[in-house]
Structure 1
Amino acid sequence: MFDSNRLRLDQFARDDRAIEGLPVRLVIAFVVGVAVLSVMLSMVSGVDTLSVSELDAIPDSDAVTPGDQAIDVTAVDADGNPVAGATVVVKAGTADLDGVATATTGDDGTATLDVDPQLGPNQADGTLELSVKPPSGLDYADRRENTEILVVRE
């Protein structure tokens, strides 16, 4: 009786042609894969909506004295450009402040806040904390700590 399975196995074992095309096909698949990956990465890096610019609050004066006064604070982006429509918030740090002062920046990126910082009886200095709330609909964030305003007794 003729065993066809045995004949096929013998022919397959002696056949060395199948291995010739395998390395070439792997190289082609690798080159095409790298090309497709580079195109996809260039498309993703070109999308501007994935980046968020950090906002910073810069006071016109880093030090003030206790008492009623107006403080100008400028909201700027990571490149130092003024940002209009941002909300600047001043709250008590180690100096006392009656409530929280807020103001919205104008076209020049500057907001004027009326504050009345006070120091304790034996306190020589204190701080006021600044934060910036970005304008809605824009890709800004305020994640890092902003400059504090130093309140110093005269």
Structure 2
Amino acid sequence: MRLALFGRDGRAIEGLPVRLVIALVVGVASLSVMMNMLAGVGGLAVHEVDARPTPAVVAEGESSVTVRVVDDAGEPVENATVVLTSGSADLDGVVTGRTGEDGRVSVSVSASLAANRDQGTVEVTVKPPASGGFVDDRENEMLLVVEDD
């Protein structure tokens, strides 16, 4: 008897879409609040590092270059590995160094240019330390190599 009455009642089907929409809106709003809370947690945030070579321009041949690694707030990053590789200028191999407490590392580079070039670049990349939530996703400043007159 109860089954027969339920089969003739159309109100349950009419109210179902409205209830689903309400549940979806409440769920999306709750998810938005939770994501904002997670974004504010400092342990989950990542900080972009940037490498700044000094001097920014060197002549062909042997040169000493200091690279400073800083985070997105401009603070020095300790224990980051700096890697210099050939770009449009050639190096005698890959040059690496590790930053100190001040975020600086001094390296010696021996750069040369092709016969038809009067300038070229050396690429600077950073392997951030494992701790601290650092990443190096954006392109860093390159070292410019100019022809020795």
In the alignment, structure 1 residue 133 sits paired with structure 2 residue 121 = no
Note if 1:101 corresponds to 2:75. no
How far apart are 1:53 and its partner, in Å? Answer: 0.5
Q: In the TM superposition, what whole-angstrom CA distance separates every residue of 1:43-81 from its partner, at most 9, and x where no partner exists?
A: 423322221111110011221101111100000101111
Cα RMSD of the aligned pairs, angstroms, is 2.8
- Structure 1 residue runs of 4 or more that deviate by more than 4 Å after TM superposition: 32-39
Equivalent runs, 1:3-152 vs 2, <5 Å:
5=1, 40-41=34-35, 43-152=37-146
Please report the TM-score for the alignment, with normalisation by the length of structure 1. Answer: 0.74
- Aligned residue pairs: how many? 137
**Structure 1 vs Structure 2: percent identity of aligned residues?**
46
* Unpaired runs of at least 5, structure 2: 9-14
Answer 1 or 2: which has greater strand percent. 2
Letter in 1 for 2:100: G
Please tell me whether Structure 1 or Structure 2 has the larger radius of gyration of its CA atoms: 1
TM-score normalized by the length of structure 2: 0.76
Structure 1 gap segments, 5+ residues each: 14-21
Cα deviation, residue 34, structure 1: 8.9
Partner Cα distance (1:95, 1:86) in 2: 24
Write the distance in 1 (CA, Å) between the matches of 2:28 and 2:112.
Answer: 64
Alpha-carbon spacing, 1:39–1:129, altered in 2? closer, same or farther (3 Å)? closer
